[in-house]
Amino acid sequence: MPSRAEIVIVGGGVAGLALATRLGNSLGVQGRARITLIDRSFSHVWKPMLHCFAAGTASNENDRISFMAQASANHFEFWPGDVVGLDRERREITLAPLCASDGAVVLDSRTLPYDALVLSIGSCANDFRTPGVAENCLFIDNLVEANAFNEKFRMALLRAYADGGALDIAIVGGGATGTQLAAELHKALDIVGLHAFATSPPKLRVTLLEAGARILPAFPERVSVAAQAELERLGVSVRTSAMVAGADGTGFSLKDGTHVPAALRVWAAGVKAPEVTGTYGGLSLSRTGQIIVKPNLRSVDDPHIFAMGDCSFIADEPLPPTAQVARQQAHHLARHLPAFIRNGTELPSCVFRNKGAIVALGNYNGWGTLPGGNVFGGGFLSGLGARLGHIMLYRQHQVEIYGFWRGLMSLLADRIDVAIRPAARLD
């Protein structure tokens, strides 16, 4: 390796931003490597909160972390751009031209060299090429899409207030995203109802469509049953074993021949890597386009390339696409990349330690599972323990990225913010 190695991290999500921050504060500040973070966006959001941005129950600026500010405070560089190509022989990545909102080219296509490249570009929902879905459904895979959904949701609610009618929304996918979104939409309406135009809010009819036998299949059955009951109490129609055959401008058609009408249609099922991984220098990919890596997160094809988080796939031990996995993998690379940079030392395997999982249904209820399979939340303080656990995951992430004091101040700023402003986006 050269005396000052080039480490390029593509994707500043849960994994990428944690890694850039840690490496910046070790190799970067010591001048032993230049750490460059590339992201297609200018700011980071905690992806497990996207359903809150979509519902409008999270909207304040504190929930976005500026990549440029984070880079300058933590000894790494940030460049905005969409990585569209990888030349493994020359060890260069290509960034697409960066355009302003009016289409004018701000930065031409550029290449960046690397000695070690870490890919952490996340994942998106998988529509399995179901007819009509791409054209007629909304997705909430990133902040732009979550905000686009929120805009449509607010306008549709306004129309329903004016007409005194109902608003039909159908969500495909009974995993954490779809289930939490269904509850969060009701929470948003509860809050909007406190401030709104008419005394009686319109009826919100949310239908959750899940192809499997139960929602939240990654959780114990007890949680699925309790979560379904909670959603139904809120008025959500939960349809399991519902195979979607297609979507159009009026709703979803199911394989059993029924039609689910919906003014807004959300696809939140399946997970796949962004399609661009197919253009990354012929790297071996899983069936869903994830980059195949060894247990130490090094590409099976190229010793200079690593992948972590949702866009990576360990063939021997596939892991779920969760923030917990992404975070642990980032910590692993932060710990072991310095020795690799210094003297080419092979990285040890990354051992995943399951610390459990949490799902929260708005303000209404939540459940957590511990590694032994024990369930907490629900029934206990109305799930307050589980809901606090869910909030703590986000606060833990903020403290990791900002440091303890700024993380604490950010928490206080949020508390002050909710005391001043409405708790849901109204404009």
Ligand X SMILES: Cc1cc2nc3c(=O)[nH]c(=O)nc-3n(C[C@H](O)[C@H](O)[C@H](O)COP(=O)(O)OP(=O)(O)OC[C@H]3O[C@@H](n4cnc5c(N)ncnc54)[C@H](O)[C@@H]3O)c2cc1C
Among 32, 51, 332, 336, the residue binding ligand X under the rule CB under 6 A is: 51
What stretches of 196-244 show up as alpha helix (H) in DSSP? 221-234
38 binds ligand X (CB under 6 A): yes
Q: State how far the Cα of 278 lies from the Cα of 228, in Å rounded to an integer.
A: 38
* Per-residue binder mask for ligand X (CB under 6 A), 251-280, x = binder: -----------------------x-x----
Among 22, 32, 34, 47, the residue binding ligand X under the rule CB under 6 A is: 47
Residue (of 98, 366, 354) closest to 223 by Cα position: 366
Q: How far is the CB of 159 from ligand X (least distance, A)?
A: 25
Count of positions on this chain that bind ligand X (CB under 6 A): 34
DSSP helix/strand/coil, 257 = coil
Q: Which residue has the tokens 């690593």?
A: 306
DSSP helix/strand/coil, 3 = coil
DSSP helix/strand/coil, 99 = strand
Within 120-139, the residues that bind ligand X by CB under 6 A are: 120-122
Q: State how far the Cα of 296 lies from the Cα of 163, in Å rounded to an integer.
A: 58
Interface segment toward ligand X; rule CB under 6 A; list 118-126, 162-170, 299-307, 375-383: 118-126
H or E stretch covering 267? strand 264-267
Q: State how far the Cα of 157 lies from the Cα of 204, in Å rounded to an integer.
A: 9
Q: How far is the CB of 202 from ligand X (least distance, A)?
A: 25
Within 202-231, the residues that bind ligand X by CB under 6 A are: none
Within 297-316, the residues that bind ligand X by CB under 6 A are: 309-311
Which token pair is 197? 């135009």
Q: State how far the Cα of 286 lies from the Cα of 273, in Å rounded to an integer.
A: 9
Q: How far is the CB of 233 from ligand X (least distance, A)?
A: 21
- Residue 324 or 365 with smaller CB distance to ligand X: 324
- Residue 6 or 254 with smaller CB distance to ligand X: 6
Residues making contact with ligand X (CB under 6 A)? 10-16, 38-41, 47-48, 50-51, 82-83, 120-122, 140, 142, 176-177, 274, 276, 309-311, 321-324, 326
